[in-house]
Amino acid sequence: MIIEPKTRGFICLTSHPVGCEQNVLSQIDYIKSNPTTNGPKKVLVIGASTGFGLASRITSAYGSNASTIGVFFEKPPTEGRPASPGWYNSAAFETQAHKDGLYAKSINGDAFSNEIKAQTLKLIQDDLGKIDMVIYSLASPVRTHPDTGERFKSVLKPIGETFTNNTVDFHTGVVKEISIEPCSGDDIDNTIAVMGGEDWKMWIDLLKSADVLSEDFKTVAYSYIGPSLTEAVYRKGTIGRAKDHLEATAFEITDSLKDINGKGYVSVNKALVTQASSAIPVIPLYISLLYKVMKEEGIHEGCIEQIERLFNERLYAEDLQLDAEGRIRIDDWEMRDDIQAKVLELWKEATTETLPNIGDLDGYKTDFFNLFGFNVDGVDYDKDVNEMVAIPGLQ
Ligand code: NAI
Ligand code: NA
């Protein structure tokens, strides 16, 4: 079939297998030319199909020849209906990994459930024995608690006061003010239940009790801080409470792994266009200004460059450069004073008329469509493609 982008609000309903494949191959090439010395060898990535998790899987596999198991929640294709992009990304990754003689298998299902955890544990026991790293990179709006069956929904709201600021509809380029009412009821607790650290700890507890974590094991989850501009809705909002919980969980995990000298870390990453971040109000306007400034300074990075730097200059360089809260910071370039000062200046000037010049709205849009395999260089979109692509290592 011929597949075209079909957008609805902040999501794209279609995705292109060849474009997704091209994205994955480009990331593989980047890592092949930036390998990791003494990198991980047997890695589980939870949330492995898109964004930072996919980049972590590729960095592990191609940076240090790691065997990888990927867990994700993606929609398979049906005749005439393309799969979700993470499906095609995983198909492309595993096809290439197998060609290159790398072990790569995957499990598609709800990582929050006991069933998927048990299935993953069995696969580790059968195929890998012990693993030396777990990357935890889930981004989800909902979680069904595995023990109680309660279904939690996360919300992106300020706490205490209404938040009013500008945002951009990146499809139309229209900049306008929005107001977000403060959270109420159980919003904070529900958001913590979905995006906090409980599920991460459940995974590690299970794997530890089954004795499949090797000596010096590491696990890393991803967090975000961001600028004062977005603070009320992000870091000091409901999602920020969940990130506080996730960050506190890293210390609990480290405590629970003392006998194997294991460590739990949080890495604070840069703001990037992903399916998760494009749904957050105000962030798209911030990102389009940030991209402009960081590209001008020659320090713009995507997911793969970020994770390559996390592995090569922090995790496996024996140089974690932890901040006062014990976090790894690869948002260091985003948060540089000169970068933030420039973004703040531009923010004051940003209108529908000025944004095309002062911001990188094109870069935002390109990245957004790239997530779904569209607007990718070198792909012929007029060519008929087979949507029924299989993931070769799917269990
Ligand atoms: P993403 O949307 O690209 O990836 C989410 C992954 O989670 C996908 O592999 C998806 O299949 C998987 N997933 C979602 N629900 C699942 C479920 N129930 N079971 C199994 N897999 C499931 O998201 P992104 O942006 O890569 O986010 C990953 C982490 O990085 C999140 O914790 C996010 O807060 C954090 N982060 C994101 C930043 C950004 O700007 N995008 C910046 C800093 C941190
Ligand atoms: Na991810």
Report the nearest-CA residue for atom 30 of ligand 1: 222
| Percent of all residues in the chain with a pLDDT value above 70, rounded to a whole number | 100
Q: Which tens digits make up the pLDDT trace of 73-109?
A: 999 999 999 999 999 999 999 999 999 999 999 999 9
Provide mean pLDDT across the span 224-241: 95
Answer whether 154's CB lies under 8 Å from 242's CB.
yes
Residue 281 predicted with pLDDT over 90: no
Report the nearest-CA residue for atom 42 of ligand 1: 271
Rounded distance from Cα 328 to ligand 1 centre (Å): 18
What pLDDT shows up at residue 149? 98
Rounded distance from Cα 139 to ligand 2 centre (Å): 7
Residue 167 predicted with pLDDT over 90: yes
Q: DSSP letter at 235?
A: T
Answer whether 298's CB lies under 8 Å from 192's CB.
no
Residue 276 predicted with pLDDT over 90: no
What pLDDT shows up at residue 10? 81
Residue 11 predicted with pLDDT over 90: no
Residue 280 predicted with pLDDT over 90: no
* Alpha-helical segments (H) within the chain: 17-32, 51-64, 85-99, 114-123, 187-195, 198-209, 228-231, 238-256, 283-296, 303-310, 337-349, 355-358, 361-371
Q: Ligand 1 pocket test: which of 203, 274, 291, 305 has the largest number of ligand atoms within 8 Å of its C-beta? A: 274
Answer whether 326's CB lies under 8 Å from 250's CB.
yes
Residues with CB under 6 A from ligand 1: 47-53, 71-74, 86, 110-112, 137-140, 222-224, 269, 271-272, 274-277
Residue 2 predicted with pLDDT over 90: yes
Q: Ligand 1 pocket test: which of 137, 230, 303, 367 has the largest number of ligand atoms within 8 Å of its C-beta? A: 137
Residue 7 predicted with pLDDT over 90: yes
Q: If pLDDT is split at 50, 70 and 90, which confidence band does 275 have?
A: confident
Residue 235 predicted with pLDDT over 90: yes
| 122 three-class SS | helix
Q: Which tens digits make up the pLDDT trace of 19-57?
A: 999 999 999 999 999 999 999 999 999 999 999 999 999
Mean pLDDT of the chain: 97
Ligand nearest 56 Cα, by number? 2
Provide mean pLDDT across the span 47-69: 98
Q: If pLDDT is split at 50, 70 and 90, which confidence band does 289 have?
A: very high
| Percent of all residues in the chain with a pLDDT value above 90, rounded to a whole number | 96
First to last CA, the chain: 27
Ligand nearest 11 Cα, by number? 1
Q: Ligand 1 pocket test: which of 200, 222, 235, 241 has the largest number of ligand atoms within 8 Å of its C-beta? A: 222
Ligand nearest 144 Cα, by number? 1
Q: Which tens digits make up the pLDDT trace of 101-131?
A: 999 999 999 999 999 999 999 999 999 999 9
Phi, psi of 180, rounded to the nearest 5 degrees: -120, 120
User: 12 - beta bridge partners?
Assistant: 7
- Residue 62 annotated as catalytic: no
pTM over 0.95: yes
What pLDDT shows up at residue 308? 98
What span, in angstroms and rounded, lies between the C-alpha atoms of 227 and 222? 17
Report the nearest-CA residue for atom 1 of ligand 1: 51
Q: Which tens digits make up the pLDDT trace of 310-347?
A: 999 999 998 999 999 999 999 999 999 999 999 999 99
**Burial level of 301, CB count in 10 A (0-12/13-18/19+)?**
middle
Provide mean pLDDT across the span 208-233: 97
Structure tokens at 250: 């890293």
User: What residue type is 176 in one-letter code?
Assistant: K
